[in-house]
Amino acid sequence: MVILMRRGVVLAGASVLALGVSGYIGPEGSVTAAQQRSRPQPDPTTQLPERLVTHEQMLEWFEEQKNWGRWGPDDDRGTLNLITPEKTKAAVALVTEGISVRLYHFPDPVNLDEPMPDTSNMRVLNRHWIPGQDPEATEIRGAALDAISFATHDGGNSHIDALCHYPVKDEGYTERPQRIYGGRPMMYTGQGCMGGASIDKMGPGYVTRGVLIDMPLLKGVPYLEKSQALYVEDLEAWEEFSGITIGSGDAVFLRTGRWARREAEGPWNYGGETAGLHASILPWLKERDIAILGGDAVADAQPSGVAQHNRPIHDMLIPMWGTPTIDNGYYLEVAEVAARLQRWEFMVSWTMMQIPNGTATPFMGLATF
């Protein structure tokens, strides 16, 4: 039996721990009623008896659904193993129009005095500069050379989470050791993930079938409501609408309209309040045996409505299934092309930046029709 644990995140000098629907609880371990009321609340449908997923149910699913040992005791790729040569060749055959569009968003520049609420969540300065040159200069002498810096997990940066990113922990323990995908000890140091399943061990890159789930299109809205939870019937309605059945080795991209809302209404703290998948879809999604799951925010509905699991989709996919997740994907352009062509499947390709012991890689995927 396993339970989910979270690493402490230092924000303004205080250590906080994510505990799902109850929000973020400080070192004192208490939340006032006023603080609770001011926080985003989960979609009310998540609390209906027929929808409710409990912590105990999550623990049962962990044991029933985990892929530990499926590809050997030392596997670092998880469900990326499902992208076989045959799967890749079948994906290449989907290219008939020769149209490629991006699936990624690059970090926005951030003014650290007034950071945007959906970016720079690690308080790392996003910069683009010409080393050795006066930033006010209007002319650069010699060859043009530039440099950039950004946080891989920045809220505006599309990235693939490594399988060491989310740990699990043996029930009954209150301190480390924690475990990552495969049941190996989690070993984080200043140099990253030292216990395996880091991004540089997950393969050089992949080509497979991509499937877009365009929920705003299905529901006839420009973007979903904040915190709106999506259920199995929503996914099955999309399959019927699109004529596509999600299957083994697919890369699935969930569009909720995060970027369309941001363009229309401005940035907001999507990490605490965004539309996404409810935990009850997990058994259904496990049967489909997908290779990777992408969201235009995070794939989880936020707040999740599941006690002790702030992001139950992440909790299950990364450490238990070995399924990488893509956060902050950009699906506006692919949605436009797919709607015009009336095709929501395509060849998708991406590389894995070989960051030594990295917890993620920037995602710069292309959809090709």
Q: What's the confidence (pLDDT) of residue 169?
A: 63
Please answer whether residues 28 and 36 qualify as being in contact, where contact means their C-beta atoms are separated by less than 8 angstroms: no
Residue 126 to residue 347: CA distance in whole angstroms: 31
Please answer whether residues 318 and 311 qualify as being in contact, where contact means their C-beta atoms are separated by less than 8 angstroms: no
Q: What's the confidence (pLDDT) of residue 278?
A: 98
Q: Which of 249, 243, 237 is nearest to 210 (CA)?
A: 249
Q: Which of 209, 208, 249, 201 is nearest to 353 (CA)?
A: 201
**Helix (H/G/I), strand (E/B), else coil: 240:** helix
Sheet holding 251-255, edge to edge: 100-102, 366-368, 345-351, 205-214, 251-255, 292-295, 325-327, 159-161, 360-362
* Dihedral angle sign, alpha carbons of residues 329, 330, 335, 341: negative
Q: Please state the three-class secondary structure of 249-286 as a single string.
A: CCEEEEECCHHHHHHHHCCCCCCCCECEECHHHHHHHH
> What tokens does 17 get?
């721990």
Low-confidence stretches of the chain (pLDDT < 50) are 1-31, 35, 172-174
Residue 145 to residue 343: CA distance in whole angstroms: 41
Q: Which residue is listed with tokens 């629907």?
A: 21
Would you give the DSSP letter of residue 49? T
CA distances from 307 to 13, 113, 167 (A): 26, 34, 18
Phi-psi domain of 13 (left: phi exceeds 0; alpha: psi -120 through 50; beta: other): left
Q: Which residue is listed with tokens 């989690």?
A: 186
Residue 107 to residue 149: CA distance in whole angstroms: 10
Q: Which of 282, 224, 289 is nearest to 250 (CA)?
A: 289
Amino acid letter, 172: G
Q: What's the confidence (pLDDT) of residue 115?
A: 67
> What tokens does 304 get?
């999740």
The full set of domains in the chain, from first to last, is: 2-105+158-368 (3.50.30)
Amino acid letter, 337: V
Please answer whether residues 191 and 356 qualify as being in contact, where contact means their C-beta atoms are separated by less than 8 angstroms: yes
Q: What's the confidence (pLDDT) of residue 168?
A: 84
- The residues with which 185 forms a beta bridge, in sequence order, are 179
Which ranges of the chain does DSSP label H, i.e. alpha helix? 33-38, 55-65, 85-92, 215-219, 232-242, 258-265, 282-288, 312-316, 332-341
Maximum Cα–Cα distance across the chain: 68
Residue 251 to residue 222: CA distance in whole angstroms: 23
Count CB atoms within 10 A of the CB of residue 274: 28
**Helix (H/G/I), strand (E/B), else coil: 156:** coil
Q: Which residue is listed with tokens 């229309």?
A: 264
pTM of this structure: 0.87
**Helix (H/G/I), strand (E/B), else coil: 235:** helix
